[in-house]
Amino acid sequence: MIVTTTPSVEGRSILEYRGVVVGEAILGANVFRDIFASITDIVGGRSAAYEQELGRAREIALRELEERAVAAGGNAVVGVDLDYEVINNMLMVSASGTAVVLA
């Protein structure tokens, strides 16, 4: 399945629009990761634990987006937007786009 942030797919025509599809992932952040992330933030550098969780959440959200596009009868998703939020020590990633049928 083609999943793209662009409104179209070069060289392919959109035959049908199947509607907006969304995928979400909300993951709890481990207390120990929070402590180590704080230390990393103080001394500088990157928090590998958060980067891994962020990547995992993004994969889940995009997989859910694709599943919903297939359920809507689409074979691609265009105009994908990814949003990231932290809510009460929980990481939320949402992906939204338009399910379409490509020629």
> Which one is predicted more confidently, 33 or 64?
64
Q: Do the beta carbons of residue 60 and residue 33 sit within 8 Å? A: no
**What are φ and ψ of residue 57, in 5° steps?**
-65, -40
* DSSP three-state, residue 44: coil
4-20 pLDDT, tens digit per residue, is 999 999 999 999 999 99
Q: Which residues have CB under 8 Å from 71's CB, separation 6+?
A: none
Range in 3-7, 74-78, 86-90 the model is least confident about: 86-90
